[in-house]
A and B are shown apart, each in its own frame.
Chain A
Amino acid sequence: MSPVPVLAGQPPVAAPQAAAGWVRAGPVDAVGLEARAAALASRSLKRATKVAVLELAVRCMDLTTLEGSDTPGKVAQLCAKAARPDASDPSVPPVAAVCVYPQLVPVAVAALAGTGVKVASVAGTFPAGLGPSAARVEEVRFAVEQGADEIDIVLDRSSFLSGRYARAFDAIAECKDAAGRAHLKVILETGELGSYDQVRRASALAMAAGADFIKTSTGKVTPAATLPVALCMAEAIREHHAATGRAVGLKVAGGVRTAKQAWQYLVVVAETLDGGWAAPALFRIGASSLLNDVLLQLRKERTGAYASPDDVADA
């Protein structure tokens, strides 16, 4: 494993180091970051832009259920919704992925065969990530064997917050190896990191360790995704891309419930990163209740009238 190159205030590094994943994780000014996020949130989306952005939000959505009470029936129901979100309107595209626990991956794989919807699985002793090292890696391998296309693991906050960066780095890198061709998303659990400086540093660490996506939250901790946190992570992704040429994706998860929130995140991505990021390959929204609000807004744009929440089926 390469040592971890993420000390705050480090000057930008020369190209050879950058190629090895050494990227500056400079400080973040909280006031300025939040002001910029608020400015982006006030963008006014109308008509064609609104429809295009809402449809994109559907295509970027990871429909998620992560409960101890999840059953094959519940997951199958979610998969049906994922493949065809609005039964009354076939023009609404399927979502990007369904996200479940490892044991339920085969159910999702079977239900989603041929739909183009990916199967994502949490792993690595989600949501704390504090299981035995071997167990974390084994869980990743198991989920991939069961057919998961994407693996969502968590950052080892215990190591990260105690300054044992190499350990946190290695934990990710081991999972990356175990994931093989499956896409690896690393959840930073930003609600536990305490500052934007730390979010930026954790982002740099996860990307250097091999994350294909960095993700805000497990959904088990409050606060989960916020607009300034997403902006902070997008800036880290931009920096990583500028230094290494590698495009890492961004996933926001937890607390995204309304269509307006979804489009605000898309505005942040579109105005912070280059346009290529506004696509399912590089942007995801993890959510459970968001989809129906987006569907209601899309219907309103199409018909001019607001529908009742009961007009769209629950997942």
Chain B
Amino acid sequence: MPELPFPLEYAPAREATDIVQLAASYGLFIGGAFVAARSGESFMTVNPATEEPLASVAAAGDDDVDAAVGAARAAFPAWSALPARQRSKLLYRVARLLQDRAREFAVLETLDGGKPIKESRDVDVPLAAAHFFYYAGWADKLDYAFPGRQVRPLGVAAQVIPWNFPLLMAAWKLAPALATGNTVVLKPAETTPLSALLLADVLAEADLPPGVVNIVTGGPSTGAALVRHPGVDKVAFTGSTDVGKEIRRAVAGTGKALTLELGGKAANIVFEDAALDQAVEGVVNGIYFNQGHVCCAGSRLLVQEAVADAVIDKLKARLATLRVGDPLDKNTDLGAINSRAQLDKITSLVDAGVEEGATVYQPPCALPPRGYWFPPTVLTGVHPSHRVAQEEIFGPVLSVLTFRTPAEAVAKANNTRYGLSAGVWTEKASKVLWMSSRLRAGVVWANTYNRFDPASPFGGFKESGFGREGGVHGLAPYVRNA
């Protein structure tokens, strides 16, 4: 009789990739069709789990950006004048097509970005579809979203999105912009352009009028050209705080509307009266979900001293059961780091933490020989003055700090230049309310973490940015008074 190996070694359960038909090269999606880049330049996008190239993608130059903005301008009058019911119908169609092709999108997202297939399958793609459904519902009900106001769209929106949730961020940006009657030029991240290009296919299949959504791929210079383009009325950016600051300087005085969703260094606060086993699950989900490439990741665990040892022991035991490896395997919990550059950044910050006196814990886990990998990591003995307690690591690295009283927890949680999110774990509801009214964070989760819903607004305080995405609040940045 075969002996059962423990910890349970699951036989490979690999999602098939044949549903994705990759082209050798991709052009830019401008005016409803894929066109070659006038710049003549291109770059390779690679699978971070294998370092194998997936496809060549056009790098849009200034002329290309100009063409895309021109196409969006040209499409704006007709699109914004379309009966709202019609825009609604088209957005519903996009949502349904996303659902129809969910597996294709999930596999592609995992190939290009390195995230576990169970996350792209169960989180990214369903949520992206949900955002289109949600804003499709608002498109013909704007009078109710803005009672007493007559609103009209801003015009052309330049949207620059990050590599951590490529499709989902595209949906977050596109759905409210289109629902309110704007046209868009979208720039996906350099390391993860493919799901946005597949989305272009869906938009065309849905019969969205040409030019309403244009997609320009490229690196930082493409993004800079887009946000600086004079034909743009609104800039929406999700990404790092440093780039966000640059963008804010670039649009200052131009009259362009701006929303920024930037970095975070969220505190996940565990009180001694919490349901500790579930709190540990929430902490794990808070920092290791999507390899910690999450702007609202719970990267600082603040645990009440009375239960600190118990929580850290439970956390270490739980880490040992996390399965790191092939993102296409349905049992993988932690996938690949998105890029070499990000891996280097995580490594150097963890090294800095060790130099500052933190203790590193990493469970024994075999990492694949090729690709970009970082094991789940816990840093204990971290003090608020350490870099790893202050800077966004954007990787699977948790810094553990302790506190004694609720007031101290609030002080420590707020002692950061960011303010995107926080988590509070206690069975006492009054303590949740007391904490949430004092935490300076756009989202406070109570006894859960990293829960997203299209109806719930998301955005930051302080250097985490401004403006809200999601919910009725997410419509406001895309309209002005008529």
Chain B window 404-445, contacts with chain A (Cβ cutoff 8 Å), 1 for yes, 0 for no = 000000000000000000000001000000000000000000
User: Least Cβ distance of B332 to chain A in Å?
Assistant: 10
Q: How far is the CA of A93 from the CA of B276 in the complex (A)?
A: 39
Question: Which of B156-164, B234-242, B290-298, B305-313 forms contacts with chain A?
Answer: B305-313
Q: How far is the CA of A46 from the CA of B122 in the complex (A)?
A: 20
Question: Which A residues are in CB contact (< 8 Å) with B321?
Answer: 271
Q: A46-B13, A55-B1, A91-B1 are in contact. Are A27 and B273 (CB under 8 A)?
A: yes
Question: Which A residues are in CB contact (< 8 Å) with B306?
Answer: 11
Interface majority SS (helix, strand, loop, mixed), chain A: helix
Q: Is there contact, CB below 8 Å, between A44 and B13?
A: yes
Out of A28, A55, A278, name the residue touching B278 (CB < 8 Å). A28
Question: Which B residues are in CB contact (< 8 Å) with A177?
Answer: none
Chain B window 1-18, contacts with chain A (Cβ cutoff 8 Å), 1 for yes, 0 for no = 111111111111100000
User: Least Cβ distance of A188 to chain B in Å?
Assistant: 18
User: Least Cβ distance of B326 to chain A in Å?
Assistant: 12
Question: Which B residues are in CB contact (< 8 Å) with A42?
Answer: 118, 122, 330
Among residues of B, the one whose C-beta sits closest to the C-beta of A47 is B11
Interface status of B272 (Cβ within 8 A of chain A): yes
Q: Is there contact, CB below 8 Å, between A270 and B8?
A: yes
Question: Which A residues are in CB contact (< 8 Å) with B9?
Answer: 49
Question: Which A residues are in CB contact (< 8 Å) with B338?
Answer: none
Question: Which A residues are in CB contact (< 8 Å) with B12?
Answer: 46
When A and B form their complex, what is the total count of cross-chain residue pairs whose Cβ atoms lie within 8 Å?
Answer: 94
Interface status of B375 (Cβ within 8 A of chain A): no
Q: A9-B427, A52-B2 are in contact. Are A270 and B275 (CB under 8 A)?
A: no
Interface size on B, residues (CB 8 A): 35
Interface size on A, residues (CB 8 A): 37
Out of A32, A235, A271, name the residue touching B447 (CB < 8 Å). A32
Q: How far is the CA of A91 from the CA of B2 in the complex (A)?
A: 11
Q: Is there contact, CB below 8 Å, between B1 and A48?
A: no
Chain A window 40-72, contacts with chain B (Cβ cutoff 8 Å), 1 for yes, 0 for no = 001111111111110110000000000000000
Task: Identify which of B12, B278, B313 gathers the most chain A CB atoms within 10 Å of its CB.
Answer: B278
Q: How far is the CA of A160 from the CA of B274 in the complex (A)?
A: 23
User: Least Cβ distance of B387 to chain A in Å?
Assistant: 31
Q: Is there contact, CB below 8 Å, between A275 and B1?
A: no
Q: Is there contact, CB below 8 Å, between A27 and B2?
A: no
Interface status of B331 (Cβ within 8 A of chain A): yes
Chain B window 248-288, contacts with chain A (Cβ cutoff 8 Å), 1 for yes, 0 for no = 00000000000000000000000011111111011000000
Question: Which A residues are in CB contact (< 8 Å) with B331?
Answer: 43-44
User: Least Cβ distance of B240 to chain A in Å?
Assistant: 30
Question: Which A residues are in CB contact (< 8 Å) with B359?
Answer: none
Interface status of A12 (Cβ within 8 A of chain B): yes
Out of B7, B274, B307, B330, name the residue touching A44 (CB < 8 Å). B330
Task: Identify which of B118, B277, B321, B448 gathers the most chain A CB atoms within 10 Å of its CB.
Answer: B277
Among residues of B, the one whose C-beta sits closest to the C-beta of A55 is B1
Question: Which B residues are in CB contact (< 8 Å) with A76?
Answer: none
Q: How far is the CA of A276 from the CA of B8 in the complex (A)?
A: 11
Out of B281, B310, B427, name the residue touching A12 (CB < 8 Å). B310
Interface status of A36 (Cβ within 8 A of chain B): yes
Interface status of A144 (Cβ within 8 A of chain B): no
Q: How far is the CA of A31 from the CA of B449 in the complex (A)?
A: 11
Q: Is there contact, CB below 8 Å, between B1 and A93?
A: yes
Q: Is there contact, CB below 8 Å, between A242 and B6?
A: no
Q: How far is the CA of A28 from the CA of B447 in the complex (A)?
A: 11
Q: Which B152-188 residues have C-beta < 8 A from chain A?
A: none
Q: Is there contact, CB below 8 Å, between B313 and A49?
A: no
Question: Which A residues are in CB contact (< 8 Å) with B274?
Answer: 26-27, 29
Q: Is there contact, CB below 8 Å, between A29 and B1?
A: no
Question: Which A residues are in CB contact (< 8 Å) with B13?
Answer: 44-46
Q: Is there contact, CB below 8 Å, between A48 and B307?
A: no
Q: A26-B276, A270-B6 are in contact. Are A31 and B11 (CB under 8 A)?
A: no
Question: Which B residues are in CB contact (< 8 Å) with A276?
Answer: 6
Question: Which B residues are in CB contact (< 8 Å) with A43?
Answer: 10, 330-331
Among residues of A, the one whose C-beta sits closest to the C-beta of B122 is A42
Chain A window 12-27, contacts with chain B (Cβ cutoff 8 Å), 1 for yes, 0 for no = 1000000000000011
Q: Is there contact, CB below 8 Å, between B7 and A12?
A: no
Q: How far is the CA of A28 from the CA of B277 in the complex (A)?
A: 8
Question: Which B residues are in CB contact (< 8 Å) with A98?
Answer: none
Among residues of A, the one whose C-beta sits closest to the C-beta of B284 is A36
Interface status of A193 (Cβ within 8 A of chain B): no
Out of A29, A32, A275, name the residue touching B8 (CB < 8 Å). A275
Q: Is there contact, CB below 8 Å, between B447 and A29?
A: yes
User: Least Cβ distance of B180 to chain A in Å?
Assistant: 34
Q: Is there contact, CB below 8 Å, between B11 and A49?
A: yes
Q: Is there contact, CB below 8 Å, between A45 and B11?
A: yes
Interface status of A7 (Cβ within 8 A of chain B): no
- 7 additional A-B pairs beyond A12-B307, A29-B278, A45-B13, beta carbons within 8 Å, are A29-B447, A31-B278, A44-B331, A46-B11, A46-B13, A48-B2, A271-B8
A-binding residues in B (CB < 8 A): 1-13, 118, 122, 272-279, 281-282, 306-307, 310, 313, 321, 330-331, 427, 447-448
- Show 6 residue pairs from A and B whose CB-CB distance is below 8 angstroms, ordered by the A residue: A11-B306, A26-B275, A28-B275, A31-B447, A35-B281, A45-B11
B-binding residues in A (CB < 8 A): 9, 11-12, 26-29, 31-33, 35-36, 42-53, 55-56, 91, 93, 235, 242, 267, 270-271, 274-276, 278
Enumerate the 10 nearest inter-chain pairs by beta-carbon distance, A residue then B residue, closest first: A275-B6, A32-B278, A44-B13, A29-B278, A29-B275, A44-B330, A270-B8, A49-B11, A46-B11, A27-B427
